[in-house]
Chains A and B, each alone.
Chain A
Amino acid sequence: MREFLEGSQAIARAVALCRAGVVAAYPITPQTHIPEGLSEMVANKEISAQIVNVESEHSAASVVLGAAATGVRAYTATSSQGLLLMSEVLFNIAGLRLPVVLTCANRAVSAPINIWNDQQDSISLRDSGWIQLYAENIQEAVDLHIIAYRVAEEKNVMLPAMVCVDGYTLTHGWEAVNLPEQQAVDKFLPPYNPLYKLDINNPLTLGFLADSDYYMETRFAIQKSHQEALKALLEIFQEFNKYFSRDYQNGLIETYRTQDAEKVIVAMGSVCGTIKDAVDVLRKKGKKVGLLKIITFRPFPAEEIYGALKKVSKVAVLDKALSLGGQAPLYSEIRSVFFGKKSAPKFIRSFVAGLGGRDITLDSIINIFNKLSLKETKEEFLDLKPELLQEKL
């Protein structure tokens, strides 16, 4: 059914459709409307989930860890500092192979404190072992939660999954959304039934000590499961496309008018909507431009990205996050796809944009395409204000 919904409400409804049994979250802007929505559904007896109102994000992540280990589907949501406070637990959840799903309402990281959107929080957790999916719009945010549980709980995957939705743009924006029917979701997402769990009839020891004789293999196994997740996601997205009449292409990446494109921007999240508009504007003027949207950032779909960009001559990578002191995170990974390859773009340029909620306008994007005509290799911060960088004596 098509409903006009706020992003956070829509996500809460999606989580309810996934029948999460335990929900734990700690308030942080701009994530708050999601747990509020779920709390309201529980208060009105619309769903039977247990809500645990914890005293920190560290405990929120720990509660869902415990619930998933007991064999119950679990959900949490956070942003920014909350995600960083959770980070110790998030690595642990992945190591314990618990298929928790988390919504990251993407927000800038302190200092200075800033509640607006960029993607520094989730990008900083890219090495944690979590699957990371990035939504462009509210419809995708809804769908990706259902897909996240499905892939996370695959027996040969068993990894946690983070659905990244740009704070405000997607959490507080309103959109007409197609919410799937409960019956359809139940069929697509069978009940969570892990092979290993806390069970008094089959007492297991979880979270043991592994010394140097055993530790490395556990990490290798996670790396291998990410490759399995890549394969699983390809199948799951195909099934989802068919079952719910959507078009996520292969689900790992989405190409927009890249067929004959000479210039392509690579990006993740809601900014892709703006880029699509810019592409349409420039296409009307006869410019051969396109967009490569990364939906699945972890596992990293290197092969698909290679296929999509190998014939493109000029590529811009737009990062809404930094790896301070190094290259922008998405940029460095896109570049590494082409090392040693015969077919590759002539150049790949790094653009950093939208930090701390600075608007990325249609003009900003058109500006990127224009700048791609010049063979400049320096990383560029889009829409910087030089007057603010003047040193005052």
Chain B
Amino acid sequence: MPKQILFACGHTACAGCGQAIAARLVIETAGTNTMVVNNTGCLEVFSTKYPESSWGVPWIHSLFENAAAVASGIEAALKYLGKEDIQIITQAGDGGTADIGLQALSGMWERGHNILSICYDNEAYMNTGVQRSGLTPFDSDTATTPYGKQSFGNPTLKKPVPEIALAHIIPYVATASVGFPQDLQRKVKKALSIKGPKYLQIHVPCPLGWRHTPNLTYKVARLAIETGLYPLIEYENGALSSVRKIKPLPVEEYLKLQGRFKHILNSPEQIKKIQEIANNNIKRYNLLIQEETPSSSI
């Protein structure tokens, strides 16, 4: 633990909020020589309600979609001042990353700013009441993709933001999960050791939006990875450098804990479709543990 508290408790996040835990892990790994730019969203709202703030590092929030551009300005200013050693992190939710913030993010990646952009992916617009985003998973029951007579929930797959990031030819792209905190911290450290734009997408359960009890956050987070639905992958200079190997569990193990998937638990056909998504991930990233060579635990 660092001497200074960089993300203080007392904020107003919900009990069991995966994003709050992940944000603390990120900033405590990054340390005091860091400036943070936050998009509008849960994290900004629950950590900076005037006259209080959880942040022990310089922190700025401007708008919903512009953290990447504000950070670009900060980076340019630090260059002008000759203070290029200061680390810059942008933080956004999945909506602020995959949807409304994507253009600014793309511009920032393409220009090559030395910035780590973090997406806390809780898979819907939670701050406004659980509406679907580009990162909402297939069949998820949200306020704007509700389950109904002719609907099984969200009809689309998650937008492949890590691939979009990779297409910008940036030096580091990875996914992480609050369920694997040491892996998450390793990736933050690794990303910050690399010069240029970095993208880290962190899977963070939201008990309110996913409708699971707050004590299950950690378990739900791990099951997303262990079923193959949320592969933990790491790319350096465009090449896949590590994946977290799994002994895949059936997707029901993950789905059955969450109210957002309750409506499909009795629909084998829908579960099959979701199992397909997991199977594709397992195949594509070669996630299966080989019996003879046990993976190093991370």
Which A residues fall within an 8 A CB radius of B? 21-22, 24, 48-50, 52-56, 58-60, 62-72, 74, 88-89, 92, 96, 198-200, 202-211, 214
Contact = CB atoms under 8 A, between A and B. Distances in A.
Contact of B34 (A21, A92, A200): A200
B77 A71 contact: yes
Interface of B: 32-35, 37-38, 44-45, 48-51, 53, 55-63, 65-66, 68-81, 86, 103-104, 106-107, 110-111
A62 B73 contact: yes
Contacts of A55: 103-104, 106-107, 110
B50 A214 contact: yes
B72 A66 contact: yes
Contacts of A52: 72-73, 76, 111
B81 A62 contact: no
A208 B48 contact: yes
A63 B69 contact: yes
Contacts of A53: 111
A21 B72 contact: no
A208 B107 contact: no
A27 to B, nearest CB: 14
Contacts of B76: 22, 24, 50, 52, 63, 66-67, 72
A265 B10 CA distance: 60
A210 B50 contact: yes
Contacts of B34: 200
B80 A66 contact: no
A24 B81 CA distance: 17
Contact of B78 (A63, A70, A210): A70
A58 B69 contact: yes
Contacts of A214: 50-51
Given A66-B37, A200-B58, A208 B53 contact: yes
Of the candidates A54, A64, A203, A214, the one having the most CB atoms from chain B within 10 angstroms of its own CB is A203
Contact of B70 (A50, A62, A203, A208): A62
A335 B120 CA distance: 53
Contacts of A50: 76-77, 79-80
6 contacts: A21-B80, A22-B73, A49-B80, A56-B103, A68-B73, A72-B77
A152 to B, nearest CB: 17
Contacts of B38: 207
Nearest to A22: B76
B80 A62 contact: no
B104 A207 contact: no
A209 B44 contact: yes
Given A54-B72, A71-B77, A209-B49, 16 more contacts: A22-B80, A49-B80, A50-B79, A58-B69, A58-B104, A59-B69, A63-B72, A66-B72, A66-B75, A68-B73, A70-B77, A70-B78, A200-B34, A203-B32, A203-B56, A205-B48
Nearest to A202: B58
B61 A207 contact: yes
Contacts of B79: 50
Contact of A70 (B45, B66, B69, B81): B81
A53 to B, nearest CB: 7
A204 B86 CA distance: 15
B55 A203 contact: yes
Nearest to B4: A203
A198 B60 contact: yes
A22 B62 contact: no
B110 to A, nearest CB: 8
A329 B62 CA distance: 29
Contacts of B106: 55
B12 to A, nearest CB: 10
A56 B56 CA distance: 32
Nearest to B60: A206
B35 A200 contact: yes
B74 A92 contact: no
Question: Which 5 interchain pairs have the tightest Cβ spacing?
Answer: A66-B73, A62-B69, A55-B107, A207-B61, A70-B77
A205 B59 contact: yes
A72 B60 contact: no
A293 B38 CA distance: 43
Contacts of B75: 66
Contact of B62 (A56, A207, A209, A210): A207
B59 to A, nearest CB: 5
Given A66-B71, A208-B49, A200 B77 contact: no
Contact of A22 (B77, B86, B104): B77
B94 to A, nearest CB: 20
Contacts of A62: 62-63, 66, 69-70, 72-73, 104
B73 A70 contact: yes
Contacts of B107: 54-56, 59
B73 A24 contact: yes
Nearest to A199: B58
